[in-house]
Amino acid sequence: MSDRSLRGMRLGAQSMESEAGVEPAARQRVEYQSEDGERVFVVFAAEADIPATWLTKAGKEAKLVHGEAKEAEPTNEKPVRTHWDMLLERRSEEELEKILADRLTQLRASRGEAV
């Protein structure tokens, strides 16, 4: 019986796809250096925008050694509006203080507290 058993490979153990004819994307190796002399090499895609600074594994900031980094363009994004900002667009602070006083009076009256 053992000579007739099926043999195969485990699912997911190996890829059945070959790497013949596959070319990896073009890359560039960029060097950064921190103030204390630590050097960091980072690999980017050839068409990637290279940042002017990079953090080392030690958490230090390293600057680009060769080449020219593309500076971050200023964005025209609106500043983040908080709930308070949106509330102030609808009501003045005086109105809000009056509403708060009214609500506190109602709450105290419902609890039976003295005003």
Write down the pTM of the prediction.
Answer: 0.45
Instruction: Classify each residue of 81-98 as buried b or exposed e, where b means 16 or more C-beta atoms within 10 Å of its C-beta.
Output: eeeeeeeeeeeeeeeeee
Radius of gyration (C-alpha) of the chain in whole angstroms: 32
pLDDT digits (tens, 9 = 90+) for 58-107: 889 999 988 665 665 666 788 889 999 999 999 999 999 999 999 999 99
The better pLDDT of the pair 115, 85 is held by 85
The predicted structure's pLDDT at residue 26: 92
Report the alpha-carbon angle 52-47-26, nearest 5.
120
pLDDT digits (tens, 9 = 90+) for 7-23: 666 666 677 777 888 88
- pLDDT-derived band of residue 24, with 50, 70 and 90 as boundaries? confident
The better pLDDT of the pair 109, 68 is held by 109
The predicted structure's pLDDT at residue 102: 96
